[in-house]
């Protein structure tokens, strides 16, 4: 990807200074991706309904003495600070600013498919996130990323069931989750 030489990439520290000094008003919705501030899409009822269905399915099975489910919680990964829709974080995970990794990251894409499927997988893989799900609401599909390495995920599949066995979750039917979109 060609980058305009006039673009200034922020470090995570610069971004945190901006946040802490009040550089953004409370309505600003941005995330730091590879040093660039990117606007986040507005949330739609379909988006929120899918998040709620996923949260319900995960909370029913999650060992809460070991894991936390968080919604919209940023992850601090190098000079990126993505804000996935849902994350499952193992208690005690390192926090350089926010948590540095997660056991499971979930993005619900209504208008953010390109970013969620292209820009974010290498970031999450570098952080050692073992499973990354993208629920593509408009595409009527779920894309599961597993086997992270330095370049991204070795396995990327369109799935009919979301697998979270590594954290004790029974398979979740994608059709059920998509049906919640309304």
Report if residue 8 sits inside a domain: no
Q: Give the separation between CA 15 and CA 98, rounded to whole angstroms.
A: 13
Domain annotation covers residue 65: yes
pLDDT, tens only, 160-174 = 999 999 999 999 999
Is residue 18 a part of any domain in this protein?
no
Q: How many structural domains are present in the chain?
A: 1
Q: What is residue 5's predicted lDDT score, i.e. its pLDDT?
A: 65
Query: For residue 4, is it within any domain?
Result: no
Tell whether 76 is covered by a domain.
Answer: yes
Which tens digit of pLDDT belongs to each residue from 33-89?
888 888 888 888 999 999 999 999 999 999 999 999 999 999 999 999 999 999 999
List the CATH number of the domain containing 79. Answer: 3.90.1570.10
Q: Does pTM top 0.75 for this prediction?
A: yes
Establish if 143 belongs to a structural domain.
yes
Show the domain range for 65: 41-179
Residue 72: CB atoms within 10 A of its CB come to 13
Has residue 25 been placed in a domain? no
Range with the poorest average pLDDT among 7-11, 73-77, 89-93, 137-141: 7-11
Q: Are 172 and 164 in contact (CB under 8 A)?
A: yes
Task: For residue range 87-111, list pLDDT tens digits in order.
Answer: 999 998 888 889 999 999 999 998 8
What's the mean pLDDT when you consider all of the chain? 91
Is residue 16 assigned to a domain? no
């Amino acid at each position: 990807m060609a980058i305009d030489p006039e673009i200034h990439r922020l470090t995570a520290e610069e971004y945190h200074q901006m946040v802490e000094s009040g550089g953004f008003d409370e309505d600003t919705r941005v995330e730091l991706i590879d040093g660039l501030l990117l606007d986040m899409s507005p949330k739609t009822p379909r988006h929120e309904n899918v998040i709620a269905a996923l949260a319900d399915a995960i909370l029913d099975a999650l060992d809460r003495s070991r894991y936390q489910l968080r919604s919209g919680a940023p992850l601090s990964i190098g000079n990126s600070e993505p804000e996935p829709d849902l994350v499952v974080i193992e208690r005690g995970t390192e926090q350089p600013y926010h948590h540095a990794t997660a056991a499971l990251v979930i993005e619900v894409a209504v208008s953010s498919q390109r970013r969620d499927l292209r820009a974010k997988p290498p970031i999450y893989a570098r952080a050692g996130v073992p499973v990354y799900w993208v629920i593509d609401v408009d595409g009527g599909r779920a894309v599961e990323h597993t086997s992270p390495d330095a370049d991204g995920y070795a396995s990327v599949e369109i799935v009919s069931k979301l697998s979270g066995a590594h954290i004790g979750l029974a398979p979740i039917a994608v059709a059920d989750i998509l049906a919640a979109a309304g």
